[in-house]
Amino acid sequence: MKASRRWWLLGWIIVVALLVGLGVAFHQYERSHAWREAATNLQAIARLKVSQIKDWRAERLDEASELTDREGFGKRILDFRESGMERFQILFDRLSSHDGYSDVMVVAPDGDILFSLINRTGKLNDKVQRDLERALQTGEPVLTDIHNESGGYGPNIDAIAPFYAEVGGATEPVGAIVLQNDASEFLYPLLQSWPVPTESAETLIVRREDDHVLFLNEVRYRRNLALRLQIPLTQEDVPAVMAVKGKTGVVEGTDYRGVRVLSALEPIPDSNWFMIAKVDVEEALGSWRHFSLFILGSIFGLVLAAIMVAAMIRQYELKKHYRAQMRAERARRRSETRFRTTLMSVGDGVIATDANGAIEFLNPVAEALTGWTQKEGRQKPLEEVFRIVNEETREIVENPVRRVVREGNVVGLANHTLLIDRGGEEHPIADSGAPIRNEEGEITGVVLVFRDQSEERRHQAELRESVKRHHRTLDNMLEGCQIVDFEWNYVYVNHTVAQHARMQREDLLGNCMLEVFPGIDRTELFERLKECMEGRTSLLMENEFFYPDGTSAWFELSVQPVPEGLFILSMDITARKQSEDLATRRRDRLLAQQETLASLIRSDLFWGEHLETAIRHLLEIAAQHQHVERVSLWRIDEEAITIRCSDLYERTPNRHSSGQVLNREIFPNYFKSLIQEETIVADDALADPRTCDFADDYLKPLGIASMLDVPIRLYGTLEGVLCFEHVGEKITWLPEHRLFAQAVAHLIALALAQNERREIEKEKENLQGQLLQAQKLEAVGRLAGGVAHDFNNMLQAILGYTDLALEGIDPDSPYKKDFMEIHQAAQRSANLTRQLLAFARKQAISPVVLDLNDKISDLLKMLRRLIGEDINLAWMPGASLWRIKVDPTQVDQILANLVVNSRDAIAGVGKVTIETGNKTFDEEYCHDHTGASPGEFVRISVSDDGCGMDKETLEHVFEPFFSTKPIGEGTGLGLATVYGIVKQNEGFINVYSEPGHGTTFAIYLPRCEVPMEDRSSDSSPEPLSGGNETILIVEDEEAVLQLGTRILEGLGYRVLKARGPREALQLANENHSAIQLLITDVVMPEMNGRDLSQKLRDLMPDDLKVLFMSGYTADLIANRGVLEDGVKFIQKPFSMRELATIVRQTLDA
């Protein structure tokens, strides 16, 4: 009852505490809600004002920027300083009235005020002067901080607009316009306004000033403190101090008056200002304070109601308690009756005594075992009725009542206890005693319970004999037999179990399984045994047992529940599991190998164009499946003399390598086995006669113990060998190893065949492309050759007569310019013809051995003029450059065309790089690069950082008349000419370009071993020189004939002219002793020029000098034997100077 009252009181206290707690929590929640609402309003107002101030500052800067950006304003300031600054009056009045500036000033770079709307003079204050210097240095407008001016001006904020002008050829700062804003006109009213009625709220802006916070505007509760009120940074509870120290958001603190306030802190962007929007806590939380009184009253009312309800419940509980006591008494009496009946019916003997050991009750079983009835034994001492002795020592056992009273607990008799009944008969018993306690826990008596064990002992003896017989049977079994009890102790183990456990039987018997095998309780085996023990179920399972030395064995376990615990029959199946595991691994390996090969056959990688990547991937997979450290593919040459490693995969950081070569003469046995189509299976590679030759140089250094080499055949021909090499201990190559290796080799053979077919197709396509290109070239060549003669003859007449006209015309004649235009147009036409012939490789050339570095160095000045000043031309000559044999004029054409192309590809400023170097190409490189030839070459590369070309443009870049330039710019023959020149000189050209990443042309010309000729000469032009010799000129084109005659006669020569070979022979017969030089066309209708020269030499008594000329292409001239060493030749069209020079050289030779 007392405990009930305590619990009731505790419950009431908890209810009251809960009500008070909920009330206080609600009180605090409402306060937090009111605080958050006030904070949200403050933060919104602060952010609104920050945004307004930010926009206002930006407008000031924008207006200053507009003034700075006005062209010529700086010059005007410079001019007005000399003529008077009053001319700014109208402009600045308009600015002041429109934008509300308190003053507009023009200041000099040193801060002197040159002009002011309000007639201020002197210099700017120091702070504004520093901002002026910063604006003049950066060239950008600057907004000053709030400051006071001398003379009572301020507080102000100035927007400074700097200006520059050309002074002495250089741009210098000439001053600035200062747009002054009175803070009290816009900024302070903005800060003093509040969107809702308030008694204490205000907005402040502050900035950090050394170790203080400076208030920049007027505060609400004090006057005239703007820019004067300062608070030390040590007063960390002041919101202004919090703001300048980087804190943002809503805080609670003490303001400059010492009053608790709620403040929203925000930094003002692009400035060192901080915004504080604050309101007194008393005002912010005023509505909450009234509501809190209502909350406290409600809590008090609820507590009072709880007390009243508790009192009513207490009265009800008391009534309920007394009724329960009455029911309990009646139940106790009924229980005692049932208890007595139960004791009389129980199968064990029961004796109850008082605390002194006097007997109060014996049930019928106790009466039978002791020989005393209830009536006879009542109030007798226990020792008299219940006589017990030790069966082995015959000593009297201590009275159990005394033990129970002494120890206060349930006690049991020792084993082997005998009860001697009233008649002296002995009964083995098992006994226990327990105290009887009253409500206060005091011992008032003892109850003894005992039973006769005679029959039980007889059954135990029979069981022990049966167990012995079974143990003898189990001891002789080949299977392990063990019995564990419910505590996991080993009750029985036979010799086989000891052998399985690798222990002695004595180490197991009587010991706990958990101690003999530490950690077994964490295994799945123990969990399964535990389920059998608890559920008394059977189990058949296989288990892998791990020994302390790290080895393991497999056992098949049959578990059966027995009375003692569990019987476990174990059979060692390690050998069987190893066989099954080996068979499974072999099956899984074969399946994995088949799946791998099938996936490779199906993959696009293996049948694609990247054979090397596919082979590498295949070698890696093969190494993984064969569990070897090295797999390599070797290719054999056509004569089967050497094999070369095309790829070696090894499980090292190097992974892949290649290049090693083995010779048949050094390893004859190995090559013989391969040629005989034999798969070399060398379990012991060091001893195998086919591989032992590799021992010292290859096997031992790399630690290779076993080799499996499979020949690869393609169309019945040995193409190579696939090698599997195991590093470490020797292994036995199984049939599945050989089958997989042969399958991989066959797969490689298929890939090689596919690659060979692909190479044939690719080569076929390349040849078709080259044939098509050759046909294009041939077509252009025919066109060029067809028009070259007639076109060059016409150009010859035009150029020649123009030269004559220019020689004879007055320099001041108005017609000279017209003749110059005709001459330039004809020269351009001649160049166009030469470009066509160069592309078709039919241009007549005179190659010489030269140093390309020297030649390009001579051209740099001309090339720089071609590209202009905005483009940088970088020249990077290669060291120890090889010589080449080429016509120097063709080098000019190549570089001029490439440099001009690079110039046109660059928009604005850029860079063109010319680089030379030596390069050697092998057969392998040329096989992969169409058009390349093996050998030694000199490389000329021209690179630019221009717009680059896409793939489609690159495919047509060398085609004649193809151009990406606008119509009217270029002929489309520049790169075609370069291509023709390179091919004519047995070289090749590569192009590398990407859109937006520039272009590189790399030209490779063959190296020439012939030493250079000394061709040094004075490059300055000499005056035209003539003579008085007799010259016979033969030309079937009348205009050219007349032109040549006039030029030569004008040089003082005596000229005989003939319109064909027949007329020439006739003139020669008539003047055979007077002709010193024959000038003849190469191709003429009756007889070619070479045959004519031979006939005339037969007629001439003296040595006749010959000069050939022609407008035909180089191949036609070469077919007539003209372009041989020592033969003088001039290509039409030629200038008067060229003809005069070569005629004089021929006569003087």
Question: For the chain, which domains are there?
Answer: 346-452 (3.30.450.20), 458-572 (3.30.450.20), 585-765 (3.30.450.40), 813-1006 (3.30.565.10), 1030-1148 (3.40.50.2300)
201 burial via Cβ count (<10 Å: 0-12, 13-18, 19+): buried
Q: How far is CA 513 from CA 485, 523, 680, in A?
A: 10, 13, 55
Distance CA 717, CA 704 (A): 29
Q: pLDDT (tens digit, 9 = 90+) per residue, 405-435?
A: 787 777 776 667 888 888 888 888 877 788 8
Contact 989, 1000 (CB under 8 A): no
- The residue to which tokens 């509040």 are assigned: 194
- At 124, the amino acid letter reads L
The confidence score (pLDDT) of residue 941 equals 92
If DSSP states are collapsed to H, E and C, what string results for 619-667?
HHHHHHHHCCCEEEEEEECCCCCEEEEEEEEECCCCCEECCCEEECCCC
pLDDT at 448: 83
Q: Supply the pLDDT for residue 160.
A: 92
Mean of the per-residue pLDDT values of the chain: 80
Q: What is the pTM of this model?
A: 0.33
**What are the structure tokens assigned to 150, written together?**
């001398």
Tokens of 981: 């020149």
- What is the model's pLDDT at position 883? 92
1045 contact partners, CB below 8 Å, separation of at least 6: 1033, 1055, 1057
pLDDT of residue 1053: 92
pLDDT tens digit string along 216-242?
Answer: 888 888 888 888 888 998 898 999 899
Q: Is 822 helix (H, G, I), strand (E, B) or coil?
A: helix
First to last CA, the chain: 151
Task: Using CA atoms of 488, 489, 495, 501 in order, give the dihedral in degrees to the nearest 10.
Answer: 60
Provide the residue count of the chain.
1149
Q: Tell me if the bond preceding 1133 is cis, omega within 30° of 0.
A: yes
**In this model, does residue 1021 exceed pLDDT 60?**
no
| Percent of the chain topping pLDDT 70 | 80
Residue 644 near residue 733, CB atoms below 8 Å: no
Q: Are 840 and 777 in contact (CB under 8 A)?
A: yes
What integer pLDDT is reported at residue 1019 of this predicted model? 46
Whether 519 contacts 525, CB under 8 Å: no
Predicted confidence (pLDDT) per residue in 272-300, tens digit: 899 999 888 877 776 656 566 666 666 77
DSSP 851: -
How does pLDDT run across 527-567, given as a tens digit for each residue?
A: 999 999 999 999 999 888 888 888 888 999 999 999 889 99
Residue 73 has pLDDT above 50, yes or no: yes
Q: How many CB atoms lie within 10 A of CB 736?
A: 16
∠ CA(956), CA(957), CA(961), 5° rounding? 85
Please answer whether residues 848 and 1119 qualify as being in contact, where contact means their C-beta atoms are separated by less than 8 angstroms: no
CA angle centred on 1135, ends 1132 and 1139, rounded to 5°:
80
Give CA–CA dist 1034/1092, Å, rounded: 10
* C-alpha span between 409 and 403 (Å, rounded): 9
Mean predicted confidence (pLDDT) in 1066-1077: 81
- Between helices 1061-1070 and 1089-1099, what is the axis angle to 10°? 10
Asked if 938 and 884 touch (Cβ cutoff 8 Å), the reply is: yes
Token couple for 575: 């050998």
Helix axes 611-626, 574-602, angle to 10 degrees: 170
Q: Are 482 and 495 in contact (CB under 8 A)?
A: no
Phi first, then psi: give them for residue 1137, nearest 5 degrees: -65, -45
Is the per-residue pLDDT at 795 higher than 80? Answer: no
What percent of the chain has pLDDT above 90? 9
What Rg, from alpha-carbon coordinates, does the chain have? 60
The model's confidence at residue 190, banded by pLDDT at 50, 70 and 90, is confident
Considering only 193-207, 402-416, 847-861, 985-999, which range has the smallest mean pLDDT?
402-416
Instruction: Tell me the HSE value of 449 on the side-chain side, using a 13 A CA sphere.
Output: 10
**Distances from the Cα of 647 to the Cα of 624, 642, 650, 739, 758, angstroms:** 16, 15, 10, 22, 21
| Neighbouring C-beta atoms of residue 102, cutoff 10 Å | 19
Cβ-Cβ contacts under 8 Å for 350 (sequence gap 6 or more): 343, 361, 362, 363, 365, 366, 447, 448, 449
pLDDT of residue 1020: 47
pLDDT tier at 1018, thresholds 50, 70, 90: very low
- 764: pLDDT strictly greater than 90: no
Name 1091's Cβ contacts closer than 8 Å, sequence gap at least 6. Answer: 1061
pLDDT value for 354: 86
835-836-842-844 Cα dihedral, nearest 10 degrees: -30
Q: Looking at 408-564, list the stretches that DSSP marks H as alpha helix, in order from N- to C-terminal side.
A: 454-475, 495-501, 505-508, 513-516, 524-535
Q: Is the pLDDT of residue 44 over 70?
A: yes
Please state, in angstroms and as integers, the Cα–Cα distance from residue 1141 to each residue in 294, 517, 1017, 1146, following that order: 125, 115, 14, 9
pLDDT value at 1014 more than 60? no
The DSSP call for residue 550 is S
State the amino acid at position 289 in one-letter form.
R
Is the pLDDT at 112 greater than 80? The verdict is yes
Q: How far apart are CA 493 and CA 497, in angstroms?
A: 6
